[in-house]
Every structure is written in C-alpha cells, then in structure tokens.
Amino acid sequence: MVPAKKHRRTPRQLVRGVRRRTRRAAGRLRRVFWRSLQLRVVTSTMVISIVVVAVLGVFLMQQIQQSVLESRVRAAISEAQADRNAVLGFLTQPENDTSERPADQGEAPQGGGDSPLSRATQALAERAGSASRYSVIIRNENLPGEFFGTTNIDPRSVPDRLRAEVKKNEPGRNAPWFLPLYYEGRADAVPGVVIGTRLDTIGAPRLDGGYEIYHLVPLDREEKMLGSLQQMLIVVGSGLVLLLAAIASLVTRQVVIPVRLARQAAERLAAGKLDERLKVRGEDDLARLGTSFNEMAANLALKIHQLEELSQVQRQFVSDVSHELRTPLTTVRMAADLLYDAREDFDPMAARSAELMQNQLERFESMLADLLEISRYDAGAATLDVDSVDVRDVVLRAVADSEALAERHSTRFDLRLPGEPCMAEMDSRRVERILRNLLFNAIEHGEGRDVVVSVGADRDAVAVAVRDYGVGLKPGEETMVFDRFWRADPSRARTIGGTGLGLAISREDAMLHGGWLQAWGAPGEGSQFRLSLPRTAGVPLRGSPLPLVPPEVEMRRTWRGHMTPVLSPAAADGGQDAD
C-alpha cells in the first residue's frame, strides 16, 4: 500500500495562516481588554506613567548632562588660560635664563629638544599629571609638520578645521570644541573637549611666527558617569511605573470587585434566582449601590411573584373555562346538528339561521381548541412526539387539507419540492398544523393569486417557505403578526373564520422544536413566512437553507442599486426611476 503524500503548504498559504492566527490572537486580546475594567485602568495608568517618567527622565538627563559638561568646560577653560600664560612665559624669557627650567621628571613631551616650547610642554605635562586630566598640544605656524604634545596625545585630535577656526580668532580667545581624542597605543577614540587659542606675541619680538596651544580634556569619566546615571534613571523609572501600576491595580480592585459581584448577582437574578442579594459593608457609595440593588431585587421579586400568581390565575381560568365549556358546547352542538340536518323543512329564515349557527359553532370549537393549546404552552405542558419523517410528505398533506379552501378563493398552489427526501426529526402533527396555518393565512391575504410553497434542506436544517403575492406587510409588522388576536387591518373581517391564534400557536410549535418561524413582507409585494427546523431534535439551529426575502425581490433591489449611479440627470436630481 502506497502511503499518501503529505500536502505541503505554499509560502502564500503559510503567510495567510500566520495572518489568521495573528488576527485571532489580536481579537482575543481586544476582547479581554474591553471586558476587563481593571485591565483597562492598569494599562492606561502604565501608559501615562511611562510617558510622564520618560519626559521627566529625558529632561533631568539633559539638565544633569548640561550641568556636568558646563562645569567641566569652565574648569578646562580656566586651566587652559593658566597654561597659556605659562607657555607664553617660557617663550618670552631669555635663552640663557634657566631659573624656571624644570627638572627632568615626569613624562617627556613629544617633540624633544631643549627649546622653550619643549620646556613649556614638559612643564605643562607635570602640571597635568596624567592624560586622564588633560593634555596639551602646541604648534608653530612656521613648522607645519611639527608639534609639541604631552601624554602620548595623537595630533589627529586637532583637525584642520579646528586650526583654521583658531587662526581666525583673536589671540587669547578660547573656543571649546567637542571632538574625539586619540592617543598613541589606543585604537578607540575618547570623547573630549578641545580648547584652542592663539598666543599673544605682542611685546615678544623674539618669537618667530604664530603659536597655537590646544587644551584637550577627555570626557570618558563623565561619559561613564552619565551612562551609569542614565541606567539608574531607567531602572528607577521602570520600578516607579510598575509601582504605579500595582497601586492602580490595588485601587481599582477595591472598586472592580464590588461591581463584579453586583454584575454576577444581576446575572443570577436575571436567570431566575430572585433571592439573590449583595453583601453590604460600610456606608460609602458602593455600599449604597449594594443597598439600592437589594431593594430593587426585592421589589422585582415581589412584582414577578405577583405577576406569576396573576398569570397562574389567568391560565387556570382559561383552562377551567375551556374544559367547562366543552360539556354545554357538546349539547349545543348536538342540537345544532339536528337543526342543521332538518333545515330543509324550515322556512328560509329559520334555515339560514341554522346554517349560521352551524358555522359559528365550528368556529367556536376551533377557538376553544386553540385556547386549550395556548393554555398548555403557557403552563409549559406541551410536549413533542418526535419521529423521523420526510418534510415533503408533511407539506403535501398540509396542501391537500388546504385545497378546498384554495378552490373557493380561486388560489392555486405552486409547489417547489426537492427531488430527494428531506428527512428530519419532528412532531409531524404540529408541523402539519403550522403549515396549514401558513397556507390558510396566505390564501386569505393572497387576493386570489398563486401561493408558492418551497422546501429546502442542507446538512443541519430543513425549511419550508410559503409565499403569497397579496397585500403584504408594513414595516414593523413582521414580528407583530405572531401576536395573539393581532390584525393588520382591524376593520377587515376574516374571510375564512380564523380565531386569531393560528400564527401565535404556530410560533410556539416552532419554538418547541427549537426552530424559527419568521415573516417578511412589503406593501404591494406580498409576504413570505419561513419555517426552519433542525434535522436532529435538540440540536441548536444556526442557519436556514432558504432565504427569508424572496430571491426575485432581492434581485430587484440589487438591480436598482446597480442602476442608481447611471440614472439620467433628471432622476438624479430627485426624479423617481422606473421599476
């Protein structure tokens, strides 16, 4: 046996699957978010706290950084001014004057020799102590490639654009620049500030050319300190946000829990547990809410109990009257049958009275039977005798029972039945009664036109639709038509002697099966009643195999909608388009 090949999904199918799962997860998160008041409050608090902490943290960080750098630059400018004066002193003293010549100690400056610049650079290196404090580079305009520097400073630390800017400035003017500093033997650069100035050679004619002195201050310690401070601010801000979220959760919990308990109590109260009450503690607003809820529940329970007693009395009254009327009705019926059978021996007026009495007795018996059926539904005593039957057979029996009435009203039935059996579990007697009521209603209001009876079925449900082309229903009458003793036009008499309870009983029968009985109608277009039942008794009904709105009406509406954009200018300005 050859094993079946596994179906490999294409990349497009994989992407679609990922998108579906993402949308499904986003939908679940959205539902959880909107269903939880506590989650929304905590989330809002966290978002607002993050924004506030971030703004304050950035502001504080900028202020601290500005303060640290300004103090460091001021100190560097002060030291640069002192070093400039020292270098100027070395350059202006006589060559044979060695009174200020320092001893050979400390780190040797770059440039070598025993010139005044070499001695000045060595003195500045001793004053700086180490490269972590500052370094100095001295240049002469007449010696482009030479420089004197301290602490292994790399001349790349002073770019040409900085030298050009220093040459433009007046002698003695300090210009701080934030640039990377380079040191020999170190690959990576160090952030720092460079303060460059020109030496004032006025009064020193012995100096040849112009001199530039650059004070290079590394800021790596400040950078590390600011980095540590930034990390500390982030940690403290995160802790503050979490603390605020915990506080918001604790505060909202004190409000949400009583509201949640009230919601659960209201659900149990709506489910019929009329003795449900809330526990009241304290005297705050929530306590008063619980007290008001308990008072409302008590009043509601009292009113419901009174209504139940009244309804029970009414049901008992209808049941008792219906049963009590059967005995005298039977006697009257027997006497009426005798009079009706002997009407040919009476004078015309008495014979007509016997016929009228016979017809009204039949209507009275029908109304009495309907009242008894309604009383069973009101008492919850109606039961189903379920059996697996073919819906087509039930429809044909209901149509056969309605043929005589249809012939009297010149109405013809148009049956649209499927070619294969439509089996379903139902009480055929009740379903047949529903269909008879629908057919009688269609005949009465169809104004002699054809009545279309359609049957549809799918995997889960079966449906029967009865369509007439009579007066139709006005907007809002689709649900009122199932009310007891309701009439669309009270001034219009019933032509077939109905009791006004047929559609109400039909809806109760449909609901007893777990199905739907729905109506559609429009003035001038007739009406359609659709009965939808599950194939298996007790299975919830999720859809119907037949549309509630007739297909031709839906197509006409769609056609009108498509035709609307291409109307003539006159119609577009307010004229009516033709059907």
Chain segment 88-121, per-residue pLDDT in tens: 666 666 554 444 443 333 343 444 455 666 666 7
Q: Could you tell me if residue 463 is inside a domain?
A: yes
In terms of Cα–Cα distance, which of 453, 463, 448, 354 is closest to 406? 448
Distance from C-alpha of 517 to C-alpha of 435, rounded to nearest angstrom: 11
CATH number, position 397: 3.30.565.10
Q: Could you tell me if residue 435 is inside a domain?
A: yes
Mean pLDDT of 115-128: 68
Collapse the DSSP code of 317 into the 3-class scheme (helix H, G, I; strand E, B; otherwise coil) and give the result.
Answer: helix
Q: Could you tell me if residue 27 is inside a domain?
A: no
Q: Are residues 491 and 512 in the same domain?
A: yes
Q: Could you tell me if residue 474 is inside a domain?
A: yes
Q: Are residues 392 and 479 in the same domain?
A: yes
Q: Are residues 554 and 489 in the same domain?
A: yes
Q: What pLDDT score was predicted for residue 129?
A: 64
Count other Cβ atoms within 10 Å, centred on residue 368. 17
Q: Are residues 291 and 426 in the same domain?
A: no
Q: Are residues 369 and 397 in the same domain?
A: no
Q: What pLDDT score was predicted for residue 214?
A: 80
Count other Cβ atoms within 10 Å, centred on residue 93. 17
In terms of Cα–Cα distance, which of 380, 444, 453, 386 is closest to 410? 444
Q: What pLDDT score was predicted for residue 486?
A: 74
Q: What pLDDT score was predicted for residue 528?
A: 92
Q: Are residues 376 and 390 in the same domain?
A: no
Q: Could you tell me if residue 151 is inside a domain?
A: no
Q: Are residues 392 and 337 in the same domain?
A: no
- Residue ranges making up the domain that contains 450: 384-559
Q: Are residues 342 and 411 in the same domain?
A: no
Q: Could you tell me if residue 250 is inside a domain?
A: no
Mean pLDDT of 124-140: 70
Q: Answer yes or no: is pLDDT of 448 > 80.
A: yes
CATH number, position 297: 1.10.287
In terms of Cα–Cα distance, which of 497, 463, 482, 464 is closest to 374? 482
Residue predicted with more confidence, 579 or 138: 138
Q: Could you tell me if residue 422 is inside a domain?
A: yes
Q: In the structure, what pLDDT confidence band is assigned to residue 465 with cuts at 50, 70 and 90? A: very high
> Which positions ≥6 away from 431 have C-beta within 8 Å?
391, 394, 509, 513, 531, 533
Q: Are residues 414 and 468 in the same domain?
A: yes
Q: Are residues 394 and 347 in the same domain?
A: no
Domain count, the chain: 2
For the segment 354-410, what is each residue's pLDDT rounded down to a tens digit? 888 887 877 777 777 777 777 666 666 677 888 899 999 999 999 998 888 888 888
Q: Are residues 350 and 394 in the same domain?
A: no
Q: Are residues 472 and 403 in the same domain?
A: yes
Q: Could you tell me if residue 420 is inside a domain?
A: yes
Q: What pLDDT score was predicted for residue 498?
A: 55
Mean pLDDT of 442-452: 88
Q: Answer yes or no: is pLDDT of 85 > 50.
A: yes
Q: What pLDDT score was predicted for residue 576?
A: 37
Highest mean pLDDT, choosing among 164-173, 356-365, 516-525: 516-525
Q: What pLDDT score was predicted for residue 72?
A: 81
> Which positions ≥6 away from 530 have C-beta within 8 Å?
463, 464, 465, 516, 517, 518, 519, 520, 544, 546, 548
Q: Select from 382, 405, 427 the last residue of a domain.
A: 382
Q: Answer yes or no: is pLDDT of 248 > 70.
A: yes
